[in-house]
């Protein structure tokens, strides 16, 4: 059994030791100030007053049935804001650089 463990351990160390230039979006988000994005419950007017006009207002999604609320999405440099009716339900940081691993820009 011992003769199999050593080659396997060496192979795992070789794989683990491989350097990568990728940056995880979550690592960047931990270091940035969370006040840089809207918080849950803010109204559309509050978001626009604090962060300015969005660079794009994407087409609404959902709303086909009563239990499926319409979701509006506004894009800003660095994040996307998701609204249910006129209140923020989430704000998500977007990929800042091509080598960063994380959410891509929203689908149109």
Cα separation of 87 and 45, whole Å?
A: 9
Domains of the chain with bracketed CATH: 21-101 (3.30.1450)
Torsion on CA atoms 100, 51, 31, 15, rounded to nearest 10? -10
- pLDDT: which is higher, 94 or 99: 94
- pLDDT tens digits, residue range 35-84? 688 999 999 999 999 999 999 999 999 989 888 999 999 999 888 999 99
Output the CA torsion 6→12→16→19 (10° steps).
90
Local structure of 17: helix, strand or coil: coil
In 3D space, the residue among 84, 101, 105 whose CA is nearest the CA of residue 28 turns out to be: 101
- Is residue 19's pLDDT more than 50? no
Q: What is the pTM of this model?
A: 0.63
More confident residue, 85 or 13: 85
* Mean of pLDDT values over 8-22: 54
């Amino acid at each position: 059994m011992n003769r199999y463990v050593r080659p396997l351990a060496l192979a795992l160390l070789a794989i683990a030791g491989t350097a990568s230039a990728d940056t995880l979006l979550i690592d960047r988000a931990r270091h940035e100030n969370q006040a840089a994005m809207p918080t849950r419950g803010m109204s559309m007017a509050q978001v626009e007053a604090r962060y300015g006009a969005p660079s794009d207002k994407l087409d609404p999604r959902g709303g086909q049935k009563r239990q499926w609320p319409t979701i509006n999405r506004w894009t800003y440099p660095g994040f996307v804001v998701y609204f249910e009716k006129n209140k923020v339900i989430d704000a998500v940081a977007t990929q800042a650089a091509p080598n960063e691993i994380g959410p891509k820009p929203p689908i149109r």
